[in-house]
Structure formats: structure tokens, C-alpha cells
Copies of this chain bind each other. A is one copy, B any other.
Amino acid sequence: MSKTRIKTYDKIIIESLKLFNEHGERAITTNHISAHLGISPGNLYYHFRNKEEIVFQIFREYEAFIREQLTPPADRAPTVDDLSRYLDAIFQGFWRFRFMFDDLPGLLSRNPQMQAEYHHFIGTELQPMMIAFLKGFQQSGFLRFDDEETISLLAVNIWIVVKFWYAFEQSAKPKVPISPDTGRRGARQVLALMRPYVSADHLESFKALDARYR
């Protein structure tokens, strides 16, 4: 692979992501992308067969980002600082790839390969990652749970609030454009879900964390 080829390939990904985020994925065609980049449609098609392939590659970058940021530490229990880093990473990820979450079911239904990979990612990686992360906090004494079921119900509620936070804000305040601040409010909603389970001797550091998102 020549240097130029890599460059154009990456440029298409980067600029498509920008265009999708600004205008919505449905409004953007491969013609818009090639015009925006000042390359010929033929040059774009040399790298990607169609728009779905571009979207799919962007999705893979999102997956890699989440995997890198959210894998719990293997050698120690997670700390409050880890929690802060996780929250930042989650909402930064949503922000950076926000076009994907405007209408995820629609996007997936138009892209069966991505749909399959998405469900595989959620089922075999993200869900176990979230459970591992809550159990890690239980081990470290930061969170206390009465039983396993409480953990799995909480994991689902966290997942729903995280996943739909931007959509919720958008439909509650359609005139207010989404900003990184939206993510900070989202982080506080997630912390509110965890707060009842924070053990007494970690409440102060938890409150300090919460204050950082105010």
C-alpha cells in the first residue's frame, strides 16, 4: 500500500465522519464526500465500494475506541479515577461519533454487516465489560450490591441512559444544539444511577467526582 493510498483512505474516513456529524448520514452521499475532499468519485470508489462501507469503517473505529478505553484493568480493581476516565471516554465517544446515534436502528437496518458486528460487539464485549466493571467496583469496596440481579439490572439501566442520552436531550430540547456539555450532564445521570450503591467510606470521593461534572 503506497503512502498516498493510505492518506486518501484515512482522509475519506475523517472527512466523512465530519460531514455525517454535521448533516446527518442520510443527507450525505459519496458525491458530497468526494466533492468535499476535492477528489473524483472514481478515486473514492477505488477505496470504498459505497457509503455503507465508509460508515462500517467508522463504526470499527468507534468499536476500537470503546474497547481501548473501557477494558477494565486486568491487574487491579478499578478506582474512582478509572470511573471518571470511563465516563469521559463514553460521552466523548458518543460525541465524536454522534451521527451513528441519531437513528441507530435505522442505520443498522440499512447495513446488515454492521448490524451483525454491532450485536456481536454488544453481546460478547460491551455487556461483559460493563458487568466486569461493576463487579470490579464491588471488589474494591467502592460499590455494594445485595445480589447479582441488582448488578445486571443496573448495567442495563446504565447502558440505556448512556446510549440514548443524546437522543433524549435532542428530543427534549430540539432548538438547543448538542455540545460536549450535554455529555457532562449525561455523566451526572449515570453517576446518579450508581450513587445508591456507593459504600459509605467512598461517598466523599464519589461526591468529588460528581462535582467535576456540574
Taking Cβ atoms with an 8 Å cutoff, the residues of A that contact B are 102-106, 108-109, 115, 119, 122, 150, 153-154, 156-157, 159-161, 163-165, 167-168, 170-172, 174, 188-189, 192-193, 195-197
- Chain B residues within an 8 Å CB radius of A163: 164, 168
- Chain B residues within an 8 Å CB radius of A122: 172
- Chain B residues within an 8 Å CB radius of A108: 171, 174
- Chain B residues within an 8 Å CB radius of A196: 196-197
- Chain B residues within an 8 Å CB radius of A115: 174
How many copies are assembled? 2
Q: Closest residue of chain B to A192, judged by CB?
A: B153
The list of the 10 closest CB pairs from A to B, nearest first, reads A196-B196, A153-B192, A164-B164, A105-B171, A160-B168, A160-B161, A157-B189, A160-B164, A104-B171, A157-B161
- Chain B residues within an 8 Å CB radius of A193: 157, 193
The answer to whether A157 touches B192, judged by C-beta atoms less than 8 angstroms apart, is yes
- Chain B residues within an 8 Å CB radius of A167: 105, 164
The answer to whether B174 touches A189, judged by C-beta atoms less than 8 angstroms apart, is no
Within the complex, the shortest CB–CB distance from A179 to chain B, in Å, comes to: 17
The answer to whether B189 touches A156, judged by C-beta atoms less than 8 angstroms apart, is yes
Chain B CB within 10 A, most for which of A106, A109, A165, A167: A167
Q: How far is the CA of A99 from the CA of B156 in the complex (A)?
A: 23
- Chain B residues within an 8 Å CB radius of A160: 160-161, 164-165, 168, 189
- Chain B residues within an 8 Å CB radius of A168: 159-160, 163-164
